[in-house]
Structure formats: structure tokens, C-alpha cells
Amino acid sequence: MKTEIAVHSRLVGVHAPDLVVFSEELAVAMEGATRSLILMDMPPPLLVVEVVNPSQESRDYRYKRSEYAARGIMEYWIVDAIAQKVTVFAWVEGFYNEQVFVGSEIVFSLLLGNLELKATQILNS
């Protein structure tokens, strides 16, 4: 079931990311739900991954970044097969720190500390 995340936005009410990692608290809050919708009063997901849609590139890079920050999502990844890069936004002291990974660089994640994936492995999956 595709998970949707309610956001504060003038453009949309929800986003449906390509991958969502739940916290234990969020998993409990979602128990028994008939729709996989993370409401504003629920704990945020730990990680959201978006695969860039070429026709909506600015939405993934610009709008979702601020909307996910407002929800308190700890990490937000953008997988961009066209630009051949993986961008990781990690929440540090109230702001997203941005790191870009390309080629054989190992993608670093504060959340998934022992991750051993190269950017190319993610891009070619």
C-alpha cells in the first residue's frame, strides 16, 4: 500500500513518497488504519525517499524539502537518475544538511549509520 504523508502546503495536501521508513511510534499509530496516510498529529516517518520525476524536478528539490522539514522528518533522500546523483538531507540542529553522492561514493546516512551502498547501486536499482 502506498504511504501518503499529510503536509502543510499551498499546492497539495499529501505527498506519496517512493519509500517511507516508519519509526516504532508511527507504526503503532498506523495500526488498524484502513488507509496508509500519516496525518499531521502522528509522529513523522524517520526517512523519506523520492525518485525524481523529470517533469516535476523542482517539486522534489524545492517544495518537498521545506514541507518534509516542517513535518520533522529526520532524513529525506532524492534519487535523481537523470543527474546521476543521490542527495541526502539530514536534520541537524533544526536544518537539513545536504550531501550529494555520485558514482562509487558510499552514501552516508546519519539514520542508517552502517549503510554500505554506493550511489550507483541506488541509482541502478
For the chain, how many structural domains are there in total?
1
Of 34, 33, 45, the residue nearest 7 (C-alpha): 45
Note the pLDDT of residue 68. 94
Question: Could you tell me the residue range of the domain that residue 52 belongs to?
Answer: 4-123
- State if pTM tops 0.85: yes
Show the DSSP H helices in 23-96 as ranges.
Answer: 24-30, 57-58, 64-71
- How is the beta sheet containing 14-15 ordered, strand by strand? 14-15, 4-6, 37-38
CA distance linking residue 35 with residue 30, whole number of Å: 9
**Residue entry with cell 524545492:** 62
Q: Which residues fall within 8 angstroms of residue 107, CB to CB, at 6 or more apart?
A: 86, 88, 101, 115, 117, 118, 119, 122
**Percent over 90 (pLDDT), the chain:** 71
Confidence at 55, pLDDT banded by 50, 70, 90? confident
